[in-house]
Structure 1
Amino acid sequence: MLKYILKRLGSTVLILFGATLIAFIMVINSGDPLQDLREMQSDNVEFLMQERIERMGLDQPWYVRYWSWLSGILGCFAGSCDFGVTMSGQPVTPLILAAAEQSLRLVFVATMVAIVVGILTGIATAMRQYSLLDYVVTFFIFLFWSLPVFWAAVLAKEWLAIRFNDWILEPQFTWPAILTLAALLAIIVPLVLGGDPLRRIITGGIMFAFVCLVLPWMNAVNFMASPRLGVPIIIVASLVLAAGFTALIAGIRNRQVLYSTLLVVLVGIVAYYATWGLLQDPPGGWLLLGALFVLTVTVCVIIGRIVGGDARGQATAASVLTGVMMSILILLDHFMYHWPQLLSLKPRPIRTVGSHTPNLDSDFWVTALDQLTQLWMPSVLMALLSLATYTRYTRSSMLEVQKQDYIRTARAKGVNERTVVLKHAFRNAMIPLVTIVAFDFAALISGSVVVERVFGWNAMGNLFITGLQISDPAPVMAFIIVTGAVAVLFNLMADILYAVLDPRIRV
Structure 2
Amino acid sequence: MLAFIARRLATATLVLLVATFIMYVLVALSGDPLADLREQNTPEAQQKMAFRTKNMQLDVPVPLRYLSWLAGVFRGDLGISKNGEDVASMVGSAMTATLQLVVIATVLGAVIGITIGIVSALRQYSAFDHAITFAAFVCFSLPLFWVATMLKQYVAIEFNTWLKDPTIPIGVIAAIAVLAGLLWAAVFTGSAKLRLSAFAIGLVSTGAVLFFLSETHWFADPGLGLPFIAIVSLLAAAGLALLISGYEHPRPLYAALAAAAVGILLYLPLQSLLADPSVLELLGFALLTAVVCAAIGYGVGGLLRRQAIPLAIASGLFTAALIFVDRLLQAWDSYSASVNGRPIATIGSATPNYTGDFWHVSLDAATHLLLPTLALILVGLASHSRYSRASMLEVMNQDYVRTARAKGLPERTVIVKHAFRNGMIPITTILALDFAGVVGGAVVTESVFGWKGMGSLFTKALHEVDPLPVMGFFLVVGISIVLWNMIADVAYAYLDPRIRLS
Task: State the match for 1:56 in structure 2.
Answer: 56
Mapped pair 1:26 → 2:36: no
Shift in CA distance, 495/295, structure 1 to aligned 2, threshold 3 Å = farther
Shift in CA distance, 299/432, structure 1 to aligned 2, threshold 3 Å = farther
- Give the deviation of 1:216 after TM superposition: 2.5
Distance 1:111 1:144 in 2: 15
Distance 1:206 1:237 in 2: 18
Shift in CA distance, 447/100, structure 1 to aligned 2, threshold 3 Å = closer
Match of 2:372 among 370, 378, 400: 378
Decide whether the 8 Å contact of 1:37 with 1:48 is kept in 2. Answer: yes
Task: State the match for 1:277 in structure 2.
Answer: 272
Shift in CA distance, 271/40, structure 1 to aligned 2, threshold 3 Å = farther
Match of 1:307 among 297, 300, 307: 300
The answer for unaligned runs of 5 or more in structure 1 is: 76-80
SS of residue matched to 2:468? helix
Task: State the match for 2:326 in structure 1.
Answer: 333
Distance 2:23 2:291 in 1: 44
Shift in CA distance, 320/19, structure 1 to aligned 2, threshold 3 Å = farther
Mapped pair 1:70 → 2:70: yes
Mapped pair 1:226 → 2:204: no
Mapped pair 1:146 → 2:135: no
Decide whether the 8 Å contact of 1:169 with 1:348 is kept in 2. Answer: no
Shift in CA distance, 301/430, structure 1 to aligned 2, threshold 3 Å = farther
Between 1:195-204 and 1:7-16, the stretch displaced more is 7-16
Task: State the match for 1:36 in structure 2.
Answer: 36
Task: State the match for 1:257 in structure 2.
Answer: 252
| Cα displacement string for residues 187-221 of structure 1 (whole angstroms, at most 9, x for unaligned residues) | 11221233321122222222222223222322333
Distance 2:293 2:490 in 1: 25
Between 1:395-404 and 1:5-14, the stretch displaced more is 5-14
SS of residue matched to 1:368? helix
The one-letter code sitting in structure 2 at the alignment partner of 1:214 is V
- Give the deviation of 1:360 after TM superposition: 0.9
Task: State the match for 1:425 in structure 2.
Answer: 419
Shift in CA distance, 46/465, structure 1 to aligned 2, threshold 3 Å = same
Distance 2:286 2:417 in 1: 26
- Within a 5 Å distance, the mapping from 1:4-403 to structure 2 comes to 4-75=4-75, 81-283=76-278, 285=279, 287-346=280-339, 347-403=341-397
Task: State the match for 1:78 in structure 2.
Answer: none
Distance 1:389 1:297 in 2: 34
Distance 1:313 1:280 in 2: 36
Distance 1:140 1:60 in 2: 55
Between 1:267-276 and 1:496-505, the stretch displaced more is 267-276
Between 1:439-448 and 1:6-15, the stretch displaced more is 439-448
Identity among equivalent positions (%) equals 43
Distance 2:281 2:67 in 1: 40
Distance 2:345 2:220 in 1: 18
Task: State the match for 1:483 in structure 2.
Answer: 477
Distance 2:292 2:4 in 1: 33
- Give the deviation of 1:316 after TM superposition: 3.0
The one-letter code sitting in structure 2 at the alignment partner of 1:382 is L
The one-letter code sitting in structure 1 at the alignment partner of 2:10 is G
CA RMSD of aligned residues (A): 2.0
Shift in CA distance, 115/366, structure 1 to aligned 2, threshold 3 Å = same
| Cα displacement string for residues 265-313 of structure 1 (whole angstroms, at most 9, x for unaligned residues) | 1332355445433332223x2x443444344344434433442223223
Decide whether the 8 Å contact of 1:111 with 1:441 is kept in 2. Answer: yes
Decide whether the 8 Å contact of 1:243 with 1:252 is kept in 2. Answer: no
The one-letter code sitting in structure 1 at the alignment partner of 2:98 is S
TM-score scaled by structure 1?
0.93
- Give the deviation of 1:505 after TM superposition: 1.6
Between 1:448-457 and 1:435-444, the stretch displaced more is 435-444
Shift in CA distance, 487/453, structure 1 to aligned 2, threshold 3 Å = same
The one-letter code sitting in structure 1 at the alignment partner of 2:46 is E
Distance 2:163 2:129 in 1: 35
Shift in CA distance, 17/140, structure 1 to aligned 2, threshold 3 Å = same
The one-letter code sitting in structure 1 at the alignment partner of 2:218 is F
The answer for unaligned runs of 5 or more in structure 2 is: none
Distance 2:485 2:224 in 1: 40
- Give the deviation of 1:444 after TM superposition: 5.3
| Cα displacement string for residues 65-110 of structure 1 (whole angstroms, at most 9, x for unaligned residues) | 32333333323xxxxx432222111222222212101112222112
- Give the deviation of 1:475 after TM superposition: 1.5
Decide whether the 8 Å contact of 1:107 with 1:441 is kept in 2. Answer: no
- Give the deviation of 1:241 after TM superposition: 0.9
Distance 1:364 1:292 in 2: 15
